């Protein structure tokens, strides 16, 4: 395909590029890549310039741009390529985030179905609805960038480590609840040990990132009653106990 004077019939060009004849006809119909010549009988003939334009079009399409956006770039009107690609990147990031959320729901459903009786439809729907509700709540408090950071951290730690942390919370919350009911001193060795376990599990979530930590605490404070009632989360009394126990632990 390296002769300026060479031409290609539509079938030849389709075979060379891997496109269908129908796709080439569509590009012609919308005025994106039109053949510059015709045979005596009226068949399309593509010149070297047409082929270069086609490859530029395909390269832009591979970046996810729509045909209208491709036209805008090729004609030099409207948003520039950099702006279009930035928008496209943002859309891709949103899709990746949505896929990560879906992966989390699927993992939860699979985990719930293992080691126990088969999930009945009603229980399955409760699991899925619960995960969807958690996702929606988190998006209220965590930015898209923070959500991506959480997904990356989850991938780096691995599903087994994350699952172990999730499984550890109910037992720890129950232990703190017993300590509160028994009137244990938060500054006691028992209180400091519980606080250490609590803070270690929290850090496994936020990784020491102050922004993630702040968003996590704000989410808990705003939804403490709902978390306690619907998800078995800690009560305000438990949080107060852990707060004082951790202060004593840090004070030595």
> 9: burial class by Cβ within 10 Å (0-12, 13-18, 19+)?
middle
* Residues sharing a CB contact under 8 Å with residue 93, sequence separation 6 or more, in sequence order: 144, 148
pLDDT by residue, tens only, the chain of 252 residues:
445 578 999 999 999 888 899 999 999 998 899 999 888 888 889 999 999 999 989 888 888 888 888 888 888 877 777 887 887 787 777 666 666 666 666 666 666 566 555 655 555 555 445 445 455 666 777 787 887 888 788 788 887 787 788 778 888 888 998 999 999 999 999 999 999 999 998 898 888 888 888 888 888 777 777 666 655 668 888 889 999 999 999 887
Closest of 64, 140, 100, 226 to residue 73, by C-alpha? 64
The answer to whether the Cα torsion of 24, 30, 35, 40 is positive or negative is positive
Tokens at residue 107, please?
């993992």
Considering the entire predicted model, what is its pTM? Answer: 0.47
Closest of 132, 135, 111, 112 to residue 123, by C-alpha? 112
Alpha carbons 236 and 192: distance in angstroms, whole number: 18
């Amino acid at each position: 395909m390296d002769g300026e004077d060479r031409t290609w019939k539509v079938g030849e060009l389709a075979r060379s590029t891997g496109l269908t004849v129908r796709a080439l006809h569509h590009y012609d119909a919308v005025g994106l890549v039109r053949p510059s010549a015709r045979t005596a009988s009226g068949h399309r003939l593509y010149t070297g310039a047409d082929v270069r334009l086609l490859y530029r079009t395909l390269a832009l399409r591979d970046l996810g741009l729509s045909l209208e956006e491709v036209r805008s770039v090729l004609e030099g009107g409207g948003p520039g390529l950099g702006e279009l690609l930035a928008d496209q990147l943002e859309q891709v990031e949103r899709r990746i985030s949505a896929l990560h959320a879906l992966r989390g729901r699927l993992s939860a459903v699979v985990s719930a179905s293992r080691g126990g009786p088969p999930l009945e439809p009603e229980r399955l729907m409760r699991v899925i609805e619960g995960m969807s509700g958690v996702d929606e709540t988190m998006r209220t408090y965590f930015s898209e960038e923070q959500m991506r950071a959480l997904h990356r951290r989850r991938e780096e730690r691995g599903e087994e480590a994350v699952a172990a942390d999730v499984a550890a919370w109910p037992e720890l919350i129950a232990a703190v609840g017993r300590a509160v009911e028994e009137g244990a001193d938060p500054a006691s060795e028992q209180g400091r040990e519980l606080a250490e376990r609590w803070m270690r599990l929290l850090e496994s979530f936020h990784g020491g990132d102050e922004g993630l930590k702040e968003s996590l605490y704000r989410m808990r404070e705003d939804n403490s009653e709902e978390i306690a009632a619907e998800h078995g989360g800690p009560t305000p009394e438990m949080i107060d106990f852990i707060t004082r126990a951790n202060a004593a632990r840090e004070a030595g």
